Amino acid sequence: MKRLSTLVVLAAVALALCVVTASAQTTPEVPLSIAHRGPLTGKPGALFNQTKDSFSEGRFGPYTIVGDYPASHTLVVKRSNIDSANWSRWAYCKMGPMDLLDSLRDGSVTMTIRFAPTTRWITWVLVKAEFTGTYGLGSTVKQTECISTGVLEEDMLRRLGVNVP
């Protein structure tokens, strides 16, 4: 009987250690991107068309329109080959200790811009950017989703005419 109780105690201790180890290893999810927003004067359809034209003509830089949805006033644009200076301002990639020697091979962003009507003359602009970094050392290449710093979203809001503090 004493031996059975000792085994039960050991099993309980082992289970407790497993639970503690598992809970210590789980980290809360950090959102990769948070939508930034601000008000603009104008109707959503007109603002959507103006922004689409600006991207098509290259006024905002080397972006490619990958989706435009007039019904929801949403525009999706993509940019690749982001230079290192902009990349370090716009995104942060969590890397493991084994990846610290890797260098950025390519950085890309997919940005979603949505114009949401609020009142008759005021439209809220929502900008969300999702970053993907391609890192490598030698012939080894690894893609990772990166965390937005919010700088690109705020810059885009300013370029669209929103007063961002």
Q: Please write the tens of the pLDDT for every residue from 26-78.
A: 444 656 778 899 999 999 999 999 999 999 999 999 999 999 999 999 999 99
* Structural domain containing residue 128: 29-160
Residues 6+ apart with CB under 8 A from 152: 89, 90, 109, 111, 129
Residue 89 lies in a domain: yes
Residue 19 lies in a domain: no
Residue 58 lies in a domain: yes
Domain harbouring 85, CATH code: 3.30.530.20
* Domain count for the chain: 1
Residue 16 lies in a domain: no
Residues 6+ apart with CB under 8 A from 127: 35, 36, 37, 111, 112, 113, 153, 156, 157
> Is 151 in contact with 89 (CB distance < 8 Å)?
yes
Residue 9 lies in a domain: no
pLDDT at 146 over 80: yes
| Model pTM score | 0.77
CA neighbor of 142 nearest in space, from 106, 111, 88: 106
Lowest mean pLDDT among 15-19, 56-60, 61-65, 113-117: 15-19
Residue 11 lies in a domain: no
